[in-house]
Structure 1
Amino acid sequence: MQKVMNRRAPRANNRPPTRRDSRRPGAVPRRVPPQVPPHPTELFTQRLLLVLSGDRPLHWFARHAAHQAFDDLVWLVDRRVLLPGAGPGPRPTVRGIGHFEPAPGSYEVFARIAVGPRLHALAFRLTRSADHRWRCTAVELDGRPPRDTDR
């Protein structure tokens, strides 16, 4: 006896028989909204917090500072205001940011920084330089301007 092979007829659709993709060819992909860059005030608040909390070294912020700001920051880092004591402590977090624009190209920024149950006030000035980069030109923490106190 001769065995007869049963051959299939060609498929009506053009899809390969082992396709596992459940999407249909005509489906429109979802649009992802473009990422909006952070405002300079938010960016600089985070940068200052990283330096003041000891997560970044002081020289990391040097290229973002101008005029008296770097000296102010050195004074604040030396006082270790936002650094936790010996051992692990609560991490500083930003509770709120606000700003005022006294003139085009400059911001007066204020932020509330929480370290555990205590709140600190951070204030700084941003100025847009001739090369269109933002620079921090003054820094204060807890309302104490560093240059008015002992050095």
Structure 2
Amino acid sequence: MTTPPTPPTPPASRVSPAAAAPRNRPGRPAPARKGPPGRRDSRRPETRRPYPAPARSAASAAAPPAAPAAAAPSPSASALRAAAARERERQPPYWFANRLVLVLSGQRPVHTLLGHTRAAAYEQLSGLASHAPLRPRGADRRSPAVLDARGRRPRDGVIEAFARIVTGERQRAIAFRLELCPDRRWRCAAVELDGQSPSRSGGR
């Protein structure tokens, strides 16, 4: 029995490459072309993920707010002593004691106290200042200084003052009386050095 002959295959039609390529429809992305196996398609963009924010622990989230800055430190001991010295120098006994020392040691002329003394006290001060009894003597030439000056008020408008002075290796004492004048200014009404009168103070 004879086999029927196979019908001949029709010749393939010639199709241009442009016609054979798939057409992209509007609204649909073009299919990605796959490269050979084992190689990454370099044309595919990489998606970079942002770094995640650090997670806060439960302890830090529940921590109280930071404490405010500490207050300014208290003044030092030297600052307190300086403030006390300024306050002391403004007191009438100490102010007058310093001016009397400057005059009686020859560092300032007596007329610098003309507006701060009464007539009788000015005469006493002039007699004392003529001998400069508080001028340093001997090898120790340090300027005299007021160690202490205090006063008491026997009545309003009057201060009985006393001051201790160091000059060289000696300590001297000045007593003076202050009176509040009608112009509301304190003036020296009497002065004595070591309890001596001006006429006898020159020999000390």
Give the TM-score normalised by the residue count of structure 2. 0.53
Would the alpha carbon gap of residues 100 and 148 (structure 1) be closer, same or farther in structure 2, given more than 3 Å must change? farther
- Comparing both structures, which one devotes a greater share of its residues to helix? 2
Aligned counterpart in structure 1 of residue 189 of structure 2, from 121, 129, 137: 137
Q: Does 1:67 align with 2:125?
A: no
Aligned counterpart in structure 2 of residue 114 of structure 1, from 166, 169, 172: 166
* Contact 2:120/2:190 (<8 A) preserved: yes
Q: Distance in 1 between matches of 2:167 and 2:200?
A: 25
Q: Distance in 1 between matches of 2:137 and 2:164?
A: 20
**Which AA in structure 2 matches 1:54?**
G
| Deviates further, 79-88 or 63-72 | 79-88
Aligned to 2:104: 52
Runs of 4+ aligned structure 1 residues displaced above 6 Å come to: 147-150
Q: Percent identity?
A: 38
* Contact 1:72/1:147 (<8 A) preserved: no
Q: For residue 127 of structure 1, give the secondary structure of its aligned residue in structure 2.
A: strand
- Aligned ranges 1:33-112 → 2 under 5 Å: 36=87, 38-85=90-137, 89-112=141-164
Would the alpha carbon gap of residues 39 and 29 (structure 1) be closer, same or farther in structure 2, given more than 3 Å must change? same
Alignment RMSD, CA only? Answer: 3.0
Q: For residue 176 of structure 2, give the secondary structure of its aligned residue in structure 1.
A: strand
Deviations 1:28-57 (A, max 9, x none): 999x9x975711111111111111111211
| Structure 1 unmatched ranges of 5 or more | 1-27
| Structure 2 unmatched ranges of 5 or more | 1-70, 76-82
* Contact 2:193/2:201 (<8 A) preserved: no
- Work out which structure has the larger RCO, using CA pairs closer than 8 Å and 6 or more positions apart in sequence: 1
Larger Rg: 2
Q: Distance in 2 between matches of 1:105 and 1:127?
A: 6
